[in-house]
């Protein structure tokens, strides 16, 4: 079988993520799983990637596991209400093992103890919220550069931020005295009918003010109005803040992706949190 790799990349079925040294397969033919596994391994070796991720369908989990993949979690509703089961394979022992699993478990327990129903929280006095525009790209880039030493995508580049806006990502910012104090986005996949709430950053001068919960609520409302009902967020497992926020906002924990991407200090584990604004199909 000749798998047309370039067409898969062009369609977004296959993601060759050089920065995070991973290969991701979103859409595939279940009759070609064995051939696809060979192709994924070859692509990973060629680009010096050490992690392969397959967004698998429920019926195919055992087939991928028989090839050496492990189920790390589930993004519920990812495919227009159908689940994406995160099946992973590692090409190095170092990448396969969490650096601090006990700390991640500690923060997860803390977060789950603070679980809420996502009731909208008001902003503190002197803060205001609005949707960002391309004119905000420069200031947003400075914020992300300040907050994150490394990041899975080039969010410190205003050109990149403008491109994501044109492609459908919605940004919301909280301002204080005319300057951006906090930001987050909803990366919309119209093709799959879901959105990732991501790019959350709070300026150090405004940390601890409870700004992210109102941002999440605003983004959720925007997604529902847009007809996107299946939401998820990936949070740094070894950091309490965003995990607590996700739990308070009514997101459900659905697994942990080991050494998933480069963020903050290097490769880090990412927790999966999901929220469906409508019932899923599974």
Q: What are the counts of helices (DSSP H) followed by strands (DSSP E) for the chain?
A: 9, 12
- Put simply, whether the predicted model's pTM sits higher than 0.85 gets the answer yes
In angstroms, the CA 194 to CA 132 distance is 21
Tens of pLDDT, residue by residue over 30-54, are 999 999 999 999 999 999 999 999 9
Question: What's the mean pLDDT when you consider all of the chain?
Answer: 96
Contact 271, 103 (CB under 8 A): no
CATH number assigned to the domain with residue range 101-276, chosen from the 4 options 1.10.150.130, 3.40.630.30, 2.40.30.10, 2.60.40.10: 3.40.630.30
Contact 252, 279 (CB under 8 A): no
Q: What is the pLDDT of residue 1?
A: 46
Radius of gyration of the chain (CA): 19
Tens of pLDDT, residue by residue over 187-211, are 999 999 999 999 999 999 999 999 9
- pLDDT band, residue 149 (cuts 50/70/90): confident
Tens of pLDDT, residue by residue over 151-168, are 999 999 999 999 999 999
- CATH code that applies to domain 5-96: 3.40.630.30
Among candidate residues 182, 187, 130, the one with its CA nearest the CA of residue 153: 187
In angstroms, the CA 87 to CA 71 distance is 5
| CATH 3.40.630.30 residue spans of the chain | 5-96, 101-276
């Amino acid at each position: 079988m000749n798998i047309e790799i370039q067409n898969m990349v062009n369609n977004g079925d296959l993601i060759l993520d050089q920065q995070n040294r991973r290969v991701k397969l979103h859409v595939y033919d279940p009759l070609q799983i064995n051939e696809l596994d060979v192709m994924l391994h070859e692509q990973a070796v060629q680009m010096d990637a050490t992690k392969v991720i397959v967004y698998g369908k429920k019926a195919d989990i055992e087939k991928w596991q028989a090839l050496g993949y492990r189920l790390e979690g589930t993004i519920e509703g990812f495919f227009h209400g159908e689940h994406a089961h995160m099946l992973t394979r590692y090409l190095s022992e170092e990448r396969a093992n969490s650096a601090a699993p006990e700390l991640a478990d500690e923060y997860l327990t803390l977060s789950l103890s603070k679980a809420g129903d996502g009731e909208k929280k008001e902003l503190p006095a002197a803060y205001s919220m609005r949707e960002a525009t391309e004119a905000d790209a420069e200031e947003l880039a400075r914020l992300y550069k300040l907050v994150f030493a490394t990041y899975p995508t080039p969010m410190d580049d205003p050109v990149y931020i403008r491109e994501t806006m044109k492609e459908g990502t919605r940004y919301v910012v909280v301002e204080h005295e005319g300057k951006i104090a906090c930001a987050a986005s909803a990366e919309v996949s119209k093709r799959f009918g879901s959105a990732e709430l991501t790019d959350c950053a709070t300026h150090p001068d405004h940390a601890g003010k409870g700004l992210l919960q109102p941002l999440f609520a605003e983004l959720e409302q925007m997604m529902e109005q847009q007809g996107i009902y299946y939401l998820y967020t990936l949070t740094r497992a070894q950091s309490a803040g965003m995990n607590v926020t996700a739990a308070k906002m009514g997101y459900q924990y659905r697994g942990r992706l080991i050494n998933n991407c480069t963020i903050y200090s290097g490769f880090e584990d990412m927790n999966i949190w999901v929220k469906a604004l409508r019932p899923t199909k599974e």
